[in-house]
Amino acid sequence: MHLRHILIIFTLASCWSTVSGVDLAEARKRLGTPDPATIPWPDGVPPSQALVDLGRTLFFDRRLSAKQNQSCASCHNPELGLSDGLALGIGTNGNRVGRNAPHLYNLAWSTVLYWDGRMTNMDEQATKPIQSKSQMAMDLGELEARLRGVAAYRTAFHSIFGDPAAPADGSAITRERLGQAIAAFERTLVSRDSAFDRHLAGAKDALMPEAVRGLDLFLGKANCIACHSGPNFTDDSFHNIGVKSADAGRAAIVPGALAQNAFRTPGLRNIALTAPYMHDGSIPTLEAVVRFYARGGDAPTPDTLVRKIDLSEGDIRDLIAFLSALSDPLRIPIPAVP
């Protein structure tokens, strides 16, 4: 009886123990499950379901590309973790794009978009890939005309944006509203029911022991939390972690020593689904990512958060187990494109 009490106390104490001077219980508070009630909606309130549905349809519509051969979902494919499985994706004209297609999970909270953060407004961002020569290479004026030729879009845009007294003649279809609709859909891509979230909610058997040890490493010795923090595992900041690459990254937007070769910290939700990794897709697997961090990166960096980490083979396995426990692939209904 006494022994048992002592054991319980001992176990509790070891839960709260520190790894390399880090208070793990305290560090845990720097992660969490995202709360959709805190999404900063552009109008201060959530969009209508009709707008989200319209955005979803547009996201899957190949009319958005010049050759009508790819949609947003070609490169942000729900079956591939809202990415494309390629190091560098392929545009409407069969060309390679310049960077790895990021996943789009939990971007609703993001204060910056793209690997270099050159955009901040998701409504405005949504029409950029359409116009990008290397991506969908489509003129927005032409696209408006193309969509006005589709009865279902005339009706949908009219009923959401149009004057009820006016006819649904397609005049309600504009590039700004197109962006608004797609962004409204993108903000609903919230992943928040992974094994890790169930663990946080108190489910005792949600995480394998390997993943629990991996979490402790993530917070402690490996110090991944220094950058991958918050409910979406990103500090929404830019770091040069020492990926060998000629890409200036953030410095092309705001030149500066710390911005040189720095990229936005990607969120890690569903990360096991979105290989290959990094802005150039140069690291093929999670194992290779963890080994990359263990050796302190491949190129010199002024960022003092990047350093060699002494990880055993077991530690590497445990970190991968934890990263894989962040998976909650959303079931995204594939719309019938008109």
Partner 1 sequence: MFTGLPSFRSVARCPAGGLLLLALPVAATAATVEGTFTFTKLTPSVALVYLPEDTGALPQEVAISHKNKAFTPRLAVGAPGSAVLFRNEDTAQYNIFAEDKELKISFDAGISEPGSSVEQKVTWPEGTVLRCGCKVHPAMEVYIAALRSRFVATVEFAPGQKTASFSIPDVPTGATLVRVWTPRQPATDLKATPSAILDFTHKGATYGSVAVTIKP
Contact 186, 55 (CB under 8 A): yes
For position 233 contacting partner 1 by CB under 8 A, the verdict is no
Question: Which of 154, 279 has the CB closer to ligand HEC?
Answer: 279
Q: How far is the CB of 38 from partner 1 (least distance, A)?
A: 7
Residue range at the interface with partner 1 (CB under 8 A); choices 139-147, 204-212, 298-306, 314-322: 298-306
Tokens read off for 223 = 């110090």
Interface residue with partner 1, options 131, 237, 245, 282 (CB under 8 A): 237
Binding footprint of ligand HEC on the chain (CB under 6 A): 64, 70, 72, 74-76, 89, 91, 97, 99, 101-102, 104, 107, 113-115, 125-126, 129-130, 135-136, 182, 186, 222-224, 226-228, 239, 241, 243, 263, 265-266, 268, 271, 274, 277-279, 286, 289-290, 293, 303, 305-306, 319, 323
3 state DSSP class of 73: helix
Q: Which of 15, 254, 299, 334 binds partner 1 (CB under 8 A)?
A: 254
Give the residue carrying structure tokens 């709360």: 35
Q: What CA–CA distance (Å, rounded) separates 272 from 321? A: 10
In 3D space, the residue among 103, 86, 72, 74 whose CA is nearest the CA of residue 270 turns out to be 103
* Residue placing its CB nearer to partner 1 in the complex, 65 or 229: 229
Residues 109-128 that bind partner 1 (CB under 8 A): 111-112, 117, 120
Q: Does 44 bind partner 1 (CB under 8 A)?
A: yes
Tell me how far, at minimum, the Cβ of 310 lies from ligand HEC, in Å: 12
Task: Indicate whether 220 belongs to the interface with partner 1 (CB under 8 A).
Answer: no
Q: How many CB atoms lie within 10 A of CB 200?
A: 16
Tokens in use for 234?
């990103």
Altogether, the residues listed in the chain come to a count of: 338
HSE at residue 21, side-chain half, CA atoms within 13 A, is 0
Report which DSSP code applies to 327.
Answer: -
The minimum distance between CB 220 and partner 1, in angstroms, equals 16
Answer with the entry of partner 1, ligand HEC, none that 38 interacts with (C-beta below 5 to 8 A by kind).
partner 1
Toward ligand HEC, which CB reaches closer, 168 or 335? 335
Q: Between 70 and 197, name the residue whose CB sits nearer to ligand HEC.
A: 70
Place of tokens 């879009």: 153
Say which amino acid occupies 129: P
DSSP at 177: H
Looking at 258, 288, 330, 337, which residue binds partner 1 (CB under 8 A)?
Answer: 258
Side chain identity, residue 105: Y
Q: Distance between alpha carbon 148 and the CA centroid of its chain, in Å?
A: 32
* Residue 252 lies near partner 1 (rule: CB under 8 A): no
Residue 75 touches which member of partner 1, ligand HEC, none, C-beta under 5-8 Å by kind: ligand HEC
Residue of 130, 45, 81 lying closest to 267 (CA atoms): 81
By three-state DSSP, how is residue 293 classified? helix
Using a 10 angstrom Cβ sphere, with 0-12 exposed, 13-18 middle and 19 or more buried, the burial of residue 34 is buried
Residue 140 φ then ψ, to 5°: -70, -35
**Which of the choices ligand HEC, partner 1, none does residue 70 contact, using the CB cut-off of 5 to 8 A by kind?**
ligand HEC
User: Minimum Å distance from CB 194 to ligand HEC?
Assistant: 15
- In whole angstroms, how close is the CB of 31 to ligand HEC at the nearest point? 13
Residue 250 makes contact with partner 1 by CB under 8 A: yes
Binding site for partner 1 (CB under 8 A): 38, 43-45, 111-112, 117, 120, 226, 235-239, 250, 254-259, 262, 302-305
